[in-house]
Amino acid sequence: MKFVDTHTHLYLDDFDDDRDIVIKNAVEDNVDILLNPNIDSSTIKELNYLTENYSGICFPMMGLHPTSVKENYTSELEIVEKELEKGKYYGVGEIGIDLYWDKTFKEQQLDAFRSQLKFAKKFKLPVSIHTRNSFEETYRIVKEELTGDLTGVFHCFTGTFDDARKIMDIGFFMGIGGVVTFKNSGLDKTVKDIPTEHLVLETDSPFLTPVPFRGKRNQSSYIKYIAEKIALTKNKDIAEIAEITTNNALNLFKTEI
């Protein structure tokens, strides 16, 4: 079995003490590709250092996270575009809309999201979309920008089956992470009815650690627990879940194992 972690933040200081070990553990557990979305200009140096030193395992994305959209967001977007022009990134992310923590910069978030969808089309890259308390706004903008060369994944999908149907209708994927293992999340019931062909796996490490390690720091080697839960929910073999979701990720992000 081979896995792809389509969303992890291994460049964050949560891993400064044992990054080598975390990556070694992931590879030993057959998680051979680790895709790392950016947050903002403050994380670009660490992101690029990570992916240069773990070439062939860690792959970078470039974007401006919605919670980093502030007064200076246009300057941040200029930095994102200049980085994307270098041609070394595998996706535009982490981008999206987050209305959970703070709505102060809602209009700026909407504009930044639309701008980065345009970057994705310009550079022919998939997007990794963050959406929290904002599915309708996020989906509307994606639909408005949708063309044949716009594709990607709704990262950390925790929505309803109606949300899932909308995502499938536009040919996007859903990233399933540790929340599917949470006892009261209800996500397992939704995932049961979503064809595996529309799913990719992710950890979002160091966040959203799956059971049985919930409450501790997350890491890419834990992706097998997410796959096991999906397999159990769908009454499928974990090898089948691994094969389909891995192929989905490889095709979406144009990477190879």
Exposed e or buried b per residue across 28-45, where buried means at least 16 C-beta atoms within 10 angstroms of its C-beta: ebebbbbbbbbbbbebbe
CATH number of the domain to which 208 belongs: 3.20.20.140
Residues 212, 200: Cα–Cα separation, whole Å: 21
Query: Token digits for 171?
Result: 């040919």
In angstroms, the Cα distances linking 22 to 11, 54, 64, 83, 246 are 11, 12, 25, 27, 20
Residues 105, 71: Cα–Cα separation, whole Å: 8
Q: For 172-193, how does the pLDDT look when each residue is reduced to its tens digit (9 = 90+)?
A: 999 999 999 999 999 999 999 9
Percent of the chain with pLDDT over 90: 98
Report pLDDT for 178: 98
Residues 159, 25: Cα–Cα separation, whole Å: 31
Q: For 50-72, how does the pLDDT look when each residue is reduced to its tens digit (9 = 90+)?
A: 999 999 999 999 999 999 999 99
Report pLDDT for 110: 98
**Above 90 in pLDDT, residue 256?**
no
Count of helices and strands (H, E) across the chain: 9, 8
**Above 80 in pLDDT, residue 257?**
no
Cα-Cα-Cα-Cα torsion 202, 205, 209, 213, nearest 10 degrees, comes to 120
In angstroms, the Cα distances linking 238 to 26, 66, 133, 205, 226 are 17, 34, 31, 21, 10
**Above 90 in pLDDT, residue 95?**
yes
Q: For 81-92, how does the pLDDT look when each residue is reduced to its tens digit (9 = 90+)?
A: 999 999 999 999
Q: Which range of residues forms the domain containing residue 7?
A: 3-253
Q: For 231-245, how does the pLDDT look when each residue is reduced to its tens digit (9 = 90+)?
A: 999 999 999 999 999
Q: Average pLDDT of the chain?
A: 97
Report pLDDT for 101: 85
- Specify the number of domains making up the chain: 1
Task: Categorize the per-residue pLDDT at 48 as very low, low, confident or very high, splitting at 50, 70 and 90.
Answer: very high
Residues 77, 153: Cα–Cα separation, whole Å: 20
Q: For 19-45, how does the pLDDT look when each residue is reduced to its tens digit (9 = 90+)?
A: 999 999 999 999 999 999 999 999 999
Strand order in the sheet with 127-132: 92-98, 127-132, 152-154, 173-176, 199-201
Report pLDDT for 93: 96
Percent of the chain with pLDDT over 70: 100
